Amino acid sequence: MREELDLAEVLRIVVQPVVRVLLRPGELDSISLDWATVRIPDWQRPELDGDEVVVESRLLTGDEAASLPWAEVVRLVLRLQAQGEVMTYEIADAVDTADIDLEWQADELYGRLQDFIVESRFGWGQLREGTRN
């Protein structure tokens, strides 16, 4: 359950080292890490075919997408605002925190934040790199 996940530890191991390496002084406006209810698609469940998973993919119109079922789940969500631009990153589901690999999450966040900076107005296509400690 989500009580088992120490948010201070997530901030220390996952968030702070990545932000410290990739964002420059003055770029970070705000940051929050909290449990939030998130809507996710509940219509594309994989079908098992022996040892393989088969998923049907196709582009849906707005009306088709609106009529499909959605599920609400509680996830640990990082919300970061830098120079007025917002990035969100979902770290973990509330019901499945026992086996979360924080080092893997730090690597994932590193890549996502790099992409965010490259695509931002303040990053101007810069691929920032550094070493997390």
At 112 the three-state DSSP class reads: helix
Structure confidence at residue 28 (pLDDT): 96
In a domain, 38, yes or no: no
More confident residue, 64 or 28: 28
Burial 104-122 (b: 16+ CB within 10 A, else e): ebbeebbebbbebbeebee
* Band of residue 12 on the pLDDT scale cut at 50, 70, 90: very high
Residues 68-108 have pLDDT tens digits of: 777 888 889 999 999 999 999 999 888 778 788 999 999 99
In a domain, 63, yes or no: no
More confident residue, 118 or 53: 118
Q: Supply the pTM of this predicted model.
A: 0.74
Domain enclosing residue 6, as ranges: 2-26+73-119
DSSP class of 24: P
Q: What domain count does the chain have?
A: 1
In a domain, 17, yes or no: yes
In a domain, 66, yes or no: no
Instruction: Count Cβ atoms within 10 A of the Cβ of residue 46 and give its class: 0-12 exposed, 13-18 middle, 19 or more buried.
Output: exposed
In a domain, 19, yes or no: yes
In a domain, 124, yes or no: no
More confident residue, 129 or 13: 13
In a domain, 49, yes or no: no
In a domain, 52, yes or no: no
Copy the structure tokens of residue 20.
């410290």
30: left (phi over 0), alpha (psi -120 to 50) or beta: beta
